Amino acid sequence: MLVIPVIDIRNGKTVRMVEGHEDKTVYYSESPLNMARLFRKENAKVIHITDLDGASSGKRKNYELIKEITEKVGVPIQLGGGIRSFDIADQLINELGVYRIVIGTSAIDNIDLVKKSIAEFGSNKIVISVDVRDEFLVKDGWSNITNIHALEFASGMKKLGVERIIYQDVSRVGSLTGPNIEGLKQIAIHTGLKVTSAGGISSYLDLKKIQELEQFGVDSVMLSRSLYENKFPCQVLWREQEKNDTSLELPEVK
């Protein structure tokens, strides 16, 4: 099972929004670039970045910072947050050089964007974020709940050619209360899509629970707060070693 560290960026800093509420934002690092370098040093195979400013406003105020990460860290970057037009999708893939993009709100409001992006870039470059609260979709940076059921929506995305979704129960994001195992299982079985789990991971035992869902198509998991707060024993050793290594300079990847 692939473990994907998450870097959420707001105002150029690494943050975590607890349960999707802006007033519960926790700041972890002044430098998302250094966090990405640390995750690479800890052997991350893919890093997910959420541009929270882009998600809330649609503006790409963190573009140059994310560009620096894609150019200097040498790990494939999965990027989400505020991808509301084909021009933005094209810029992120062909100019910024991200590995794949995550479409959330726009997959609800603009089906043509999903269709055109898959036709142009291929299904392996497009991931749909199924952000739910009580099994119904939320959008606009999780601020608005819809009357669209997650299973119905994900099944519709599959018909458009989508192959992978991120299933994220926003009530568990940043809470360390454990993933929504039943929700993950149901959406994987019902749709037959590849599923990445996000939200609620607190420990190695949570990872083991998700690993038991691999047989249904849940093949990866995104982690944020549990990584930043060293909830895994091996991390304590790594982070102690890194305390005096503030630069985290790494060789360029050719």
Q: How far apart are CA 3 and CA 222, in angstroms?
A: 6
66 close to 101: Cβ distance less than 8 angstroms: no
- The single residue of 8, 51, 53, 169 carrying the catalytic annotation is 8
Q: How far apart are CA 167 and CA 150, in angstroms?
A: 9
Q: How far apart are CA 83 and CA 129, in angstroms?
A: 11
Active site residue 8: yes
Active site residue 131: yes
- The single residue of 87, 90, 112, 131 carrying the catalytic annotation is 131
Active site residues: 8, 131
